[in-house]
Amino acid sequence: MPPPGKNNDFFLGHTKRSTRTSTEDFVAQTIYPILSSRGHKCFYDRHSLAGQDIETCLSEAKLSVVHIVVLDDCTMQSNYVIKELEASVESSNPIVTVYRKDVFSWTEVGKPAWESALGPERKPFLKKVFSIPTVEFEASARYLDTSKDILTQDLEKVLDARLQALSSSASGNAPSKGTAPPVEQVDTCCGCGTSPTPLDTKAVYSLLDTLTHSPANSNWATIIKGAFWRKQPDPPIVVGGCVRATEAGDGLVVIQTRLIQPIFPQISEAGQVDANDVKKALGALDLERGDALIREEIYTTFANLYMKLNVLSNFQRLQDRNLDPGPSFKELSSKVAFFSQVAT
């Protein structure tokens, strides 16, 4: 349920103009049912606007915790969508953009298209609209279930972060339950022969975030995206780049990221980190300071990550039907072995 002062958990914004897809049907048949089934109160005009003036949308945008807007080839041309977004920006509500990757390309519907349509004078506004990474939704039969899982996770992580911020603000900035521990510098070494490097708890969270962002060019890229948001401090750490896990059964992870240096400064942008390196980084948490429980939770999350996303159950269902799960699921099953190494 939304907190005091807010009417809705989510505001669902969309247009009805596109001739290439029905954005309204995507909201009605996918986003709204998913969020409603999980107990979230949503403002969706098809269900919430009956008998009310369309201007109600503007006030409801302000009174929602998180604003979701579905991008299509006509969204940036809708004055009402833009007014709704302006209302949320004015209220400092986080905005999550979503688009159908199987229908549109990023250049057609993403930030570049908006900047081209609205002009350079709207760049400050668009910076706020697109401050949270856009959620790519793949509706093909092969990736539909996975896309739904990740859509849910991405939306709920933003909601949780915003609710925590609102709660902290209401209580005079007192830390809320589940807040990450304060930063404390400790020394650790990755076992590569170099001298110990400073590592703080935020760096550990950065490592987790890096390890769970799969490459943009992967067909299963959304499977592990953003899984550790709740383990990050507020504000969350933004880690650029990507990670590709290969030969995970042997405990090998190939890191491709521009920001790996805060965790392992001596590793190049395309360097390698094995399970023991990850283990040592996590082990650098100060146990005497009460971080043992946090570390245990992180380990457990590593071990159960794919279970939570139903990857293994999907894999097993395919096997039970004597169908070849395909290379992606086979690779994912081997990754469980890697994360189990980290967790033990």
141-179 tens-digit pLDDT = 888 888 898 899 889 989 988 988 888 776 665 444 333
- Output the pLDDT for position 170: 67
- Output the pLDDT for position 173: 54
Give the residue with greater pLDDT, 226 vs 273: 273
Over residues 246-252, the mean pLDDT reads 24
Give the residue with greater pLDDT, 85 vs 275: 85
Residue 321, Cβ neighbours under 10 Å: how many?
Answer: 8
Give the residue with greater pLDDT, 77 vs 279: 77
What pLDDT band is residue 5 in, cutting at 50, 70 and 90? confident
Kindly report, as residue ranges, where domains of CATH 3.40.50.10140 are found in the chain: 8-162
Q: What distance in Å separates the CA atoms of residue 134 and residue 203, rounded to the nearest whole number? A: 24
Give the residue with greater pLDDT, 115 vs 335: 115
User: Which phi and psi angles does 234 have, rounded to 5°?
Assistant: -110, 120
Q: What distance in Å separates the CA atoms of residue 40 and residue 56, rounded to the nearest whole number? A: 20
- Output the pLDDT for position 7: 87
User: Secondary structure of the chain: what % helix, strand, coil (to 5)?
Assistant: 50, 10, 40
What pLDDT band is residue 4 in, cutting at 50, 70 and 90? confident
Average pLDDT, the chain: 63
Over residues 40-53, the mean pLDDT reads 77
Give the residue with greater pLDDT, 143 vs 258: 143
- Output the pLDDT for position 168: 76
Q: Which CATH architecture has domain 8-162?
A: 3-Layer(aba) Sandwich (3.40)
- Output the pLDDT for position 111: 93
β 252-256/272-274 pair status: antiparallel
Q: What distance in Å separates the CA atoms of residue 311 and residue 295, rounded to the nearest whole number? A: 24
Q: What is the pLDDT of residues 280-327, one digit of tens each?
A: 544 544 434 444 444 444 444 444 433 333 344 444 444 444 444 444
Give the residue with greater pLDDT, 268 vs 143: 143
- Output the pLDDT for position 51: 56
Q: What distance in Å separates the CA atoms of residue 98 and residue 35, rounded to the nearest whole number? A: 14
- Output the pLDDT for position 133: 87
Task: Give the global pTM.
Answer: 0.53
- Output the pLDDT for position 56: 85
Residues 6+ apart with CB under 8 A from 212: 224, 225, 226, 227, 228, 243, 305
